[in-house]
A = this chain, B = another copy of it.
Amino acid sequence: MPKVTGFRTVDVRFPTSRGLDGSDAMNKEPDYSAALLILETDDPTLEGHGFVFTCGRGNDLQCDMIEQLAPYAVGRDVADLATSMGEFARSLVRDSQIRWLGPEKGVTQMAAGAVVNAAWDLVTKHAKKPLWKFLSDLTPEQIVELVDFRYITDALTPAEALEILRKTEPQRAANEAKLRAEGLPAYTTTPGWLGYTDEKMVRLAKEAVAAGYTLIKLKCGGSLEDDKRRLRLAREAVGPDIRIAIDANQVWDVNQAIEWIKGIGDVNLYWVEEPTNPDDVLGHAAIAKAIAPVRVATGEHGMNRILFKQMLQAKSFSFMQIDATRVAGVNENIANILMAAKFGVPVCPHAGGVGLCELVQHLAMFDSVAVTGHHAGRVVEFVDHLHEHFVVPTNIQNARYMPPVEPGAGGEMYAQSIADFTFPHGKEWASA
């Protein structure tokens, strides 16, 4: 039986700021980066890969924090981990000294997520299943055991979670067949980066529609006049039937958000994403109420299940945008997905960056097979960047995420990519 014998972290950064890919009103020049953790075993063919996505500076620090939590995995038997991932994940957020540095937020929470996700990569590779399939084959009781219910029982009890899962259980086989045949609908942010010219945005929007996308997203919040012009051009380019969402990346205060969104006028917006600070449960709720029927989406910076719980309780959003590496990994996102199911809110994962599509698709697919089934409102973000570095890249067909069949949780990059983009001595940085 393989056992975790050690680990290494790598500071991997892609120099995306050179091309303004990924530019938005808040993140002006991100270098898409991964604070990468590789769990090693005594089987040289078996490693577990997990990472935290960051925007560049501080990625080294994120690696260092992962190194403080990764020792919790060392010495564990992979088969034992496979049946105790709930307890394992909970142990990572309950180190009573490190907890002070959060608790359960920011650098420490994301570090816990990298360790949890790397462990899931190990467990699912060992089981020879992709993560979405592994999770979807667990019993309702086993799934509930994965969740840390601490601080969320006022919104979701273990018994309620069980009930949700049991209700869907008879449909799992049909849901899985449908997933394998049709995949899950994707939407694309590729046309909409703030640093792009109008011409490039229009060209990419038309290409997106030609590729089958029915929802595109534009960054906004630089200036109201720019937003109005870009939205008008985008609407002309894609026609009336394509859904258009906008993403403000947290640039507005609450009242400013309401005024700005109303000022844009009626362009049939599908959602407004991150209109204000991600911690502002009440602010999002006020915005959602004021701008209805335009809806609010948020969550990529949602720090933990306690925030998501409140956003559901307060009706802060109509779409829950979980992120694969912002919270404490797969387990905390299962809590988020189950809470969303109880409150009837579709989970529409955030992706993009580097590797976020590869990771988060598993969670959306698990949701579609074993939790809510094929929810009509679900759509998963897709950005066509940096997939070539992944051993199991996303497989988009007709603007839909097709389920990976290869074992693992999706976070493994090619060794050559890791080497070339290691900061600051990999060849892509040394030569810059």
Binding site for B on A (CB under 8 A): 26-31, 54-58, 61-62, 64-65, 68, 95-110, 149-154, 250, 253-256, 276-283, 286, 301, 303-304, 306-307, 309-310, 313-314
Contact = CB atoms under 8 A, between A and B. Distances in A.
A58 B98 contact: yes
Given A61-B65, A281-B282, A310-B282, A107 B101 contact: yes
21 contacts: A27-B100, A29-B96, A30-B97, A31-B97, A55-B96, A55-B100, A57-B97, A58-B65, A58-B68, A58-B108, A62-B101, A65-B107, A107-B108, A151-B254, A151-B280, A153-B253, A154-B253, A154-B254, A154-B286, A279-B310, A280-B309
Contacts of A154: 253-255, 283, 286
Contacts of A283: 151, 154, 306, 310
Nearest to A24: B96
A250 B103 contact: yes
- Chain A contact residues: helix, strand, loop or mixed: loop
In the complex this chain forms, how many copies of it are found? 2
A101 B96 contact: no
A303 B106 CA distance: 10
A432 to B, nearest CB: 16
Contacts of A106: 101-102, 105-109
Contacts of A151: 253-254, 276-277, 280, 283
B310 A281 contact: yes
A230 to B, nearest CB: 21
